[in-house]
Structure 1
Amino acid sequence: MTRHIRHAGLFCALLLVALLLNAARVQVVQAPEYDRNPANRRPDIARYEEPRGDILVGGRPVTGSKDTREHLRYERTYRDGPLYAPVTGFASQLYGTTLLEKAEDGILSGTDPMLAPFPLWNDFTRARNSGGDVVTTLDPAAQRAAYKGLAGLKGAVAALEPSTGRILALVSRPSYDPQPLSGNGSAAAEAWQRLNADRDRPMLNRAARQTYPPGSTFKVVTAAAALDAGVVRDLDAPTDSPDPYTLPGTRTRLTNASRGCRDASLREAFTLSCNTVFAKLGVEVGGTDMTATAHAFGFNNPALRIPFPVARSTFDTSVDQAQLGLSSIGQYNTRATPLQMAMVAAAVANGGQVREPYLVERTTRPSGSTLATPGSRAVRQAMYPSTAVRLRALMREVVENGTGRRAAIRGAKVGGKTGTAQHGLANSGMPYAWFISWAQGDRDLAPRVAVAVVVEDAEAERRDISGGGDAAPIARAVMEAVLKPR
């Protein structure tokens, strides 16, 4: 009898071991397969069973979480949704995440291993941590000024702190409210269909994910290349530039919107924005040096992230001389995001150094303690410091005596460059109005803000559209918001 009991006990022990092995196989070996199974709703239920961490602007959350008491319990909420949508993106139970909600999803959702004090134990128990917070670099006043300036228009604004690369404003209009996309019901599906059917593409971040021909604002890059290469040594010396200028190897004659460009000096040409002078300068600098300077400013960089990806700004490297002339005045295949052109203005303001832009100041644990900071950003020397000094002087003259007068701020040093970019088949599209600038308060040791503004549909007759008239006042409002004492 004892032998039978012993055998039964051994058999039960074997069954227990087999059960434990099978449980381990299911929970450890096959767990990823079950997690990926579309019929398994547990990952979704677990993902939304805790409130999501918040995105903060100026120390205040612009996001939140609402308890729905449903299986997918917590739903994302947004404060001032259209104002910050080009930064936050959306977090939807149906359509996933975009922009900062996607780039920092691990922190916000609580799945980042850095939030787990005992990660191996969490793997075993399948427990989830509360989401952390993401503190942005945005200046609320600058963000609101940019958003208000673009009211009723289609366009974008990007503003940077030149010495650090901190993004102070990132605005795109028309915008949208991410809130209706947060849930998983019919209202979210209807909002998704409506937004995607909108011809104005409100979910497009025009400041960082859309490129435009930069037009005459690119002449800052061309001037930097010409000064660095020694093609121009004296800002006031004649440039031997005809008006009109026949592009090399063609019969195409390039003209100017302003008078006085024939044989103009670089100082005069920059203030008057002479196409003929800068196209000729680009040809004289040559493709190699023009490309090197454009690269140093950040063009043709496919890896820029802030932390979400930024569209690549382009300067065509396979051009003939005529195409190089057009590229050097921001036309042909030259294209840039507003963020890239803000980097150009910031480089001039920062002694020729380009700081990689960034949007996240730090991430924090739910307790508020700092989890990570971005650290020092990559630095490139886009031009000689002496060249930056001369370009700052040229940009100040544009605001004080040229086409950028509407960007002037009393008691501050302001430099700028206007641009009107042609586009479309045979330049048939409504021109884009551009303005890039920087500003330094009367008590500041260095410029505190660099701004780029593009307006796609300026409210004016085609002949009246200009960067100085349509984009410069928006840039001024953003710069005033940053410089204003707090």
Structure 2
Amino acid sequence: KKIPGIYAVPLISRYGNQALARHIVGSTRGSVVQGDVEIGLKGIESLYNEELTPAEPNVNVSVVVDGRGELLKGGNLHLRGERGIPARGKNVVLTLDKDVQQTVEKVMDKHADKGAAVVIDIPSGEIKALVSCPSYSYAQGFLWGEEFDRSLNLYHPGSVFKIVVAAAALAEGVVEVDEKFECDGRYVFQSGEEISCWKEEGHGELTFKEAFAYSCNEVFVEVAQRLGSEKLEEYAHLLGLEEGITGYTLQDQGGVVQIGNLQGQIGNAALGQDGVTICPVNLAALAAVVAQDGVYQKPSLVKEIRQPNGKVVKAIEATTPHRVLPSPVAEEMQSMMELAVDEGTGKKAQIPGLGSAGKTGSA
């Protein structure tokens, strides 16, 4: 039944059922200030709450009518503030690519109960996808475990940290890629303590390059002793593992690398355990350093702030890229990471016909 003066019109929801990047975007649900104006609770909604809040919270609706005062069919409704200002806040433009983000989320939802995935553009450092699994429903809110943004939390990286050890050792000249080692399945310290290789019977004789590809613990514990804790910390910092994310100051600092001086502490750190916690975004940026021939670009997540009409009011400038590894060292690392995927522990990540490189890790 029609009621004079009452019209049903479609309303665009702030969050739809197909909303992407829910952890990083955050939400406004649960808290209000100044009447009906919601404040951001998490993520971008919280960090850029001031920019996203409408200048005119009290909304009027303007319509187009005919000479009889009847609403014109097909006419648009306009939401305006009390002074005629559009009742919308500014727009925060992210670096995320909708298609890439959507694809990665679908893959994660299908194949992972929990985890994180990061896609970084080379050479810009722009984050094109940032996914934490499981996701959650805006309507239902968080369920247990869903509130954690695994893409930005800190974790022991495991053997992925061997990228840092290898790069530092090659740059400092304490090892050569073709230097030969003997792995019998364990490394024994002067104190009598020992660290086992994941391959209990040992890898036997292998080069440093092969030790990287097969993720030999014994060899990397040995090489880490040659470097020492100070050099390991120096290169972790140099390679950007403690950096934050441009445009996302909720993540001012990346990982934490504080390694003790005891042999066992250095050995465990070489395996990405004791004293080493890293954010997945920083690990993606680390891989990008190798891919960019030794040049580091700090990851970025926010491009600019725009008025509702599209006018840019603030550009978020990316940092200047700078060299952190000699080009020859980066080229050697590329070859080692390719071998890890072609023949080593990362075979499952191999992409036939395209080529791929990487480093496995577990912790």
Q: Matches of residues 117-266 of structure 1 in structure 2 within 5 Å?
A: 130-151=88-109, 152-178=112-138, 180=139, 191=140, 195=142, 198-200=143-145, 202-208=146-152, 210-233=153-176, 235-239=177-181, 243-257=185-199, 261-266=203-208
- CA offsets, 1:74-127, max 9 Å, x none? x7434523x32022111225173111112222322246xxxxxxxxxxxxx9x8
TM-score (norm 1): 0.60
Pair 1:307 & 2:265 matched: no
1:159/1:168 contact within 8 Å kept: yes
Contact 1:314 1:336 in 2 (8 A): yes
C-alpha contact 1:87 1:99 (8 A) present in aligned 2: yes
Preserved contact between residue 121 and residue 127 of structure 2 (Cα < 8 Å): yes
User: 1:420-455: per-residue Cα shift (whole Å, max 9, x none)?
Assistant: 21xxxxxxxxxxxxxxxxxxxxxxxxxxxxxxxxxx
Equivalent residue for 1:103, pick from 47, 59, 71: 47
Q: Which residue of 2 aligns with 1:280?
A: 222
Alpha-carbon shift at residue 340 of structure 1 (Å)? 1.3
SS of equivalent to 2:257 = coil
**AA aligned opposite 2:50:** G
Q: Following TM superposition, by how much is the alpha carbon of 1:248 offset from its aligned partner in structure 2, in angstroms?
A: 4.5
Q: Which runs of 5+ in 2 are unaligned?
A: 1-9, 33-38, 56-82
What 5-or-longer segments of structure 1 have no aligned partner? 1-64, 68-74, 112-124, 181-190, 422-486
Deviation per CA, 1:355-398: give whole Å up to 9, x if none: 11111222221111222322232434332221111100111111
**Matched residue of 1:363: which SS?**
strand
- The SS at the match of 2:277 is coil
**2: distance between equivalents of 1:155 and 1:164?**
25
Report the counterpart of residue 28 of structure 2 in structure 1: 91
Aligned partners of 1:250 and 1:239: how far apart in 2?
A: 21
Answering whether residue 312 of structure 2 is matched by residue 370 of structure 1, we say yes
1:232-291 Cα shifts (integer Å, max 9, x gaps): 13x112146654111343422422327663452111101110011111111111111111
Alpha-carbon distance, 1:346 to partner? 0.9
Q: 1:27-69: CA deviations, max 9, x gaps?
A: xxxxxxxxxxxxxxxxxxxxxxxxxxxxxxxxxxxxxx958xx
Number of the residue aligned with 1:399: 341
Identity %: 28
Residue 35 of structure 2 corresponds to residue 77 of structure 1 = no
Residue 415 of structure 1 aligns to a residue whose secondary structure is: coil
Query: If each structure's helix is expressed as a fraction of its own residues, which one has the higher value?
Result: 1
2:242–2:255 Cα contact (<8 Å) kept: yes
* Distance in 2 of aligned mates of 1:350 and 1:258: 36
When the two structures are superposed, what TM-score results if normalisation uses the length of structure 2?
Answer: 0.79
Distance 1:327 1:78, change over 3 A: same
Asked if structure 2 preserves the Cα contact closer than 8 Å seen for 1:162 and 1:347, the reply is no
- The aligned residue for residue 446 of structure 1 is none
1:119-165 C-alpha deviation (Å, 9 max, x unpaired): xxxxxx9x897422222211223222322232251111111113111
Task: Supply the AA of the counterpart residue of 1:365.
Answer: Q
Q: CA deviation at 1:306?
A: 4.0
Moved more, 145-154 or 258-267: 258-267
Q: Match of 1:102, as an amino acid? A: S
Q: Give the CA RMSD over aligned residues.
A: 2.7
Counterpart-to-counterpart distance in 2, 1:110 and 1:153: 38
Distance in 1 between residues matched to 2:271 and 2:247, nearest whole Å:
28
Bigger Cα displacement from structure 2, 362-371 vs 277-286: 362-371
Distance (whole Å) between structure 2 residues aligned to residue 380 and residue 324 of structure 1: 28
8 Å contact from structure 1 (residues 404, 418) kept in 2: yes
Using the TM superposition, name which of 367-376 and 385-394 deviates more: 367-376
SS at match of 2:93: strand
Secondary structure of the structure 2 residue equivalent to 1:92? coil
Aligned ranges for residues 4-15 of structure 1 at < 5 Å? none
8 Å Cα contact 1:392-1:415 kept in structure 2: yes
Deviates most, 271-280 or 353-362: 353-362
For residues 171 and 189 of structure 2, the distance between their equivalents in structure 1, rounded to whole angstroms, comes to 23
Asked whether the 8 Å contact 2:341–2:350 carries over to 1, the reply is: yes
Within the alignment, does 1:379 sit opposite 2:321 as a pair?
Answer: yes
SS state at 1:417 partner: coil
- Counterpart of 1:212 in structure 2: which amino acid? Y
- Cα separation, partners in 2 of 1:283 and 1:252, compared to 1, 3 Å: same
User: Any idea what the Cα deviations from partners look like across 1:157-203, whole Å, max 9, x if unmatched?
Assistant: 1111131110011000111123x3xxxxxxxxxx55xx3xx432x12
Question: Counterpart amino acid of 2:308?
Answer: P
Preserved contact between residue 248 and residue 322 of structure 1 (Cα < 8 Å): no
Bigger radius of gyration: 1
